[in-house]
Amino acid sequence: MSLPIFTPAEGPGPSFHELLKRTGLSPLAAPAVGGTAVPNGPQGMPFDLVHGTTICAVRYREGVVMAGDRRATAGSAIAHRTMEKVHPADSHSGVAIAGAAGPAMEMVRIFQLQLEHYEKVEGQALSLDGKANQLSQMVRGNLAMAMQGFVVVPLFAGYDLRRGRGRIYTYDPTGGRYEETDYHADGSGGRDARTTIKLGFREDMTREEAVELCVRALWQAADEDSATGGPDAVRGIYPTVATITAEGFARVAEPEVAGTFAGLVELLRATETRQLPAGEQGAHSASRGGERR
């Protein structure tokens, strides 16, 4: 490798993605896979695409909680049990991903580098809006791939140091960027998670309440959606939960998440079994799972 030296007019500026393009390394600018797809996979693809599933973000008193399950699927098979879908984007923001796992992980990696690169070159971090906008441009850059089924839908959240509050941004596959006021959930179990959060959301929640709400939303999503993984007590695999506050991005420790799940299970066991007459918890009860609300 040589030292990248650009004339002032031709330089990529503080953008790492532009630098990748200048050096011919950008995967997002790569031409889409050509030709007609072989109709084998679920979307006319010659292979089963690995998918990440349910992610959510909730605003609370001190900032934002983000959470995501750990399951990745390829068709109807479970591809991974321990995939991380919630990542720190920089010190005060996080990005969660749903959709085609390969391109999504690559997008997260470039996005993280993009923010750090800007911060180092310019000597100060981008504004939260600037970061959200950068991600939007990267999703749009993936449009050709999205048209072929490699859809990536990120969820971006962060603590706006200038405005002193948590903010949440959602995206569509064309790069459209929408700011949510309170919460959002995406992915295959996103609808179920969103409904759960909608019913449980209150203004000015504490950290514990917000973490519990996210955990509950993921539980309900896993209950309704086969591609979303629930807590795995046998292997000790629990969803990724993180908080973003004025102090920065911090993972919620796994024992705390496990404890929150244990509390939820206790609660559900009490409410769900009470509604059934004794002796009828057999085969017929399967049709009415999860209607606690």
Partner 1 sequence: MTMPFYVAPEQFMKDKADFARKNIARGRPLVATVYQNGVLICSENPSRSLHKVSEIYDRIAFGGVGKYNEFDQLRVSGVQHADLKGYQFSREDVDARSLANLYARYMGNIFTHEMKPLEVEILVAEVGARPGEDQMFHILYDGTVVDEVRFTVLGGEADAISTRMAESFRPDWPLAEALAASVRALAGPDRRIGTQELEVAVLDRANGRRAFRRVLEAEVGELLAQAEETPTAGTADRAEGADGEEAARGGAGEA
- The answer to the question of residue 250 lying near partner 1 (CB under 8 A) is yes
* Interface with partner 1, residue 270, by CB under 8 A: no
Residue 116 engages partner 1 in binding (rule: CB under 8 A): yes
Count the residues of the shown chain that bind partner 1, applying the rule CB under 8 A.
27
Distance CA 139, CA 168 (A): 16
Report residue 48 as tokens: 């089963």
Residues 248, 239, 250, CA angle at the centre, nearest 5°?
10
- Does 249 contact partner 1 by CB under 8 A? yes
- Give the range of 14-22, 142-150, 218-226, 257-265 binding partner 1 by CB under 8 A: 14-22
Q: How far apart are CA 281 and CA 117, in angstroms?
A: 57
Q: Does 275 bind partner 1 (CB under 8 A)?
A: no
Residues in the chain: 293
The CA dihedral of 274, 276, 277, 279, to the nearest 10 degrees, is -110
Residue pair 246/161 in contact by the 8 Å Cβ criterion: yes
Of 62, 90, 186, 192, which one interacts with partner 1 (CB under 8 A)? 90
The residue range among 85-93, 125-133, 166-174, 220-228 that interacts with partner 1, by the rule CB under 8 A, is 85-93
- Kindly give the pairing relationship between strand 55-60 and strand 183-186: antiparallel
53 is catalytic: yes
Q: Which two tokens stand for residue 199?
A: 């019913």
Among 38, 78, 109, 259, binds partner 1 (CB under 8 A): 109
Residue of 23, 53, 240, 271 marked active site: 53
Whether the CA torsion 23, 29, 34, 37 is positive or negative: it is: positive
Q: Which residues bind partner 1 (CB under 8 A)?
A: 1-5, 11-12, 16, 19-20, 23, 25, 88, 90-91, 109-110, 113, 116-117, 120-121, 123, 247-250
Catalytic center residues: 53
